[in-house]
Amino acid sequence: MRRRRRALLFVALLLALPIAGTTAQLPRRGPAPLPAAARALLEGRYADVEALTATRDQADPETAVLAARAALARGRYDEAEATLRRVVARAPRSDAALELGLLRQQRGGSDAPAVLADVAVLTETGRDAVDLARGARARAALGQLREANATFIR
């Protein structure tokens, strides 16, 4: 009886091995464009960032921020600003708006406080930690350090 059970178990294992082997050989997809673009940015492959973000929706704030950061790293400030402005018109409290406000502040733009103030409102109205952090970063850039810090203490 035991011999028969062992034999059946052995046959079942042998039948299961080819199935496990074929599932391991499935073709793999490449990384998604946005995480791949973020990785390329971190690795300094700015041309790759351009190529990967060009295939994405240009109205998406995350895409715009990645494209703008790559342009900034290459010294293309006007191109980065234009990319961000297109998105900020539709999403005035997005990551792109924060990035534009910081860029305008760095370049001495008179509209930087207004852009950053729009984003800073998120410290009061933010729905999640990402919104609150974005708003706090804008407040810090505006010099409102106590208010920015209070956001994280709540």
Please, what are the averages of pLDDT over each run of 10 residues along the chain (154 residues)? 62 55 50 81 94 89 95 95 95 95 95 95 91 95 94 82
Q: What is the pLDDT of residue 120?
A: 95
Q: What is the pLDDT of residue 93?
A: 94
User: What is the C-alpha separation between 90 and 36, in angstroms, rounded?
Assistant: 25
Q: What is the pLDDT of residue 20?
A: 45
Q: What is the pLDDT of residue 33?
A: 65
Q: What is the pLDDT of residue 21?
A: 45
Helix (H) or strand (E) holding 154: none
Q: Which amino acid is at 117?
A: A
User: What is the C-alpha separation between 131 and 33, in angstroms, rounded?
Assistant: 23
Q: What is the pLDDT of residue 152?
A: 83
Structure tokens at 7: 């034999």
Helix (H) or strand (E) holding 5: helix 2-23
